[in-house]
Structure 1
Amino acid sequence: MATFSELLGAQIKNEFAASQQYAAVAVWFARQDLPQLARYFYRQSLEERNHAMMMVQYMLDRDIPVTIPGIGEVRNDFAVATEPIALALAQEKQVTADIEALFTAARSEGNPIGEQFMLWFLKEQVEEVASMTTLLNVAERAGQNLFDLENYVAREQIGDGGNDAAAPQAAGGAL
């Protein structure tokens, strides 16, 4: 079984991969002339990058060796607007499972500081999954009328936009 530190190092890669995937989704929406969705996913990309850098800072603060990993390919092509949103929801659900595993590892190792650090991410994932679920539901209801979806994104605040005063510090500062 992997240690908390090993899982955290792997999660840094996952967060950077999520950031890149959200950037690809944002570009796809921008190419579809859907600026509200593009802006939302550009912001999500930065939020995931910041999550990775929060984990980097934690490892630095705890004197745990950390490396910045490369990531694999991301998906860039989609047929309809619901596809990238469904991909994002699946990604958020996987991240939730990964964060839960990190919390469990910290607890099983008797690492209360690691456990406490992961609590913020658990709370964050509840918001991320709920927001992406709602966005997918609205996209499915909008069907081919993507202006309704654009209006929804423009009108509603989806998630906290990465603005949480209780968030851990990101290495180099949050963007």
Structure 2
Amino acid sequence: MLKEKMIEALNKQINEEFYSSYLYLSMSAYFDNIGLKGFANWMRIQAMEERDHAMKLFDYLLSQGAEVKLMEIKEPQHKWDGVKDTIGEALKHEQHITQCINNLVDIAEELKDRATNNLLQWYIDEQVEEEENAREILDKLELIGDSKQALFMLDKDLAQRVYTPITTNE
């Protein structure tokens, strides 16, 4: 049985994950509007993954007989100062989510909640990947500098990303 402190923290994280989805969907729209369909595709898939992350927590709470309390999702930013700024903000956001997950692990450890701690290990691994992916794109943008041709090639590469849904019991 989950303690109230853990339930409250997991519900807050559901909100963080849904906000992440909104933010990346907003970034997708931004990239589409500036003609970078590959970046838009990459961010749209990122948004779908974040929704899946929220649903994994949602389903976990329900499986534990806990109440899910959906909260208002704040409006995300809509415009950025170019491609590097947008990806840089995505990386900063992933670092924020990593800290949120680490805080959840701290609570699970404090409460000796081994089941939730076990679930959160998946999120820790996921955050390592999320930060790495954003950092890799940012590094490529640094390398290409002002080359529109290289940006076009990177955009083409990012267009190849395909959505793979997670299962909530992964």
Output the TM-score relative to the length of structure 2: 0.89
Question: How does 1:28-67 map onto structure 2 within 5 Å?
Answer: 28-67=30-69
**C-alpha separation in 2, matches of 1:125 and 1:159:** 18
Contact 2:42 2:159 (C-alpha < 8 Å) held by counterparts: no
RMSD: 2.3
Question: How does 1:42-121 map onto structure 2 within 5 Å?
Answer: 42-121=44-123
**C-alpha separation in 1, matches of 2:106 and 2:154:** 37
Alignment coverage as a number of residue pairs:
167
**C-alpha separation in 1, matches of 2:85 and 2:108:** 35
Residues 8-50 of structure 1, C-alpha deviations (whole Å, 9 max, x = no match): 1111110011100000100010011111100000000000011
In structure 1, the partner of 2:168 is: 168
Output the TM-score relative to the length of structure 1: 0.86
**C-alpha separation in 1, matches of 2:149 and 2:75:** 30
Task: Give the direction of change, closer, same or farther, for the CA distance of 1:4–1:150 in structure 2 (3 Å limit).
Answer: farther
Contact 2:18 2:51 (C-alpha < 8 Å) held by counterparts: yes
Task: Read off the aligned partner of 2:95 and give its amino acid letter.
Answer: K
In structure 2, list runs of 5 or more residues that go unmatched: none
Percent of pairs identical after alignment? 25
Aligned mate of 1:140, from 135, 139, 142: 142
Task: Give the direction of change, closer, same or farther, for the CA distance of 1:101–1:150 in structure 2 (3 Å limit).
Answer: farther
1:90 Cα deviation from its structure 2 partner? 0.4
Quick check: which one's helix share is greater?
Answer: 2
**C-alpha separation in 2, matches of 1:111 and 1:143:** 47
1:158 Cα deviation from its structure 2 partner? 9.4
**C-alpha separation in 2, matches of 1:104 and 1:114:** 11
1:163 Cα deviation from its structure 2 partner? 5.2
In structure 2, the partner of 1:6 is: 8
In structure 1, list runs of 5 or more residues that go unmatched: 171-175
**C-alpha separation in 1, matches of 2:128 and 2:162:** 12
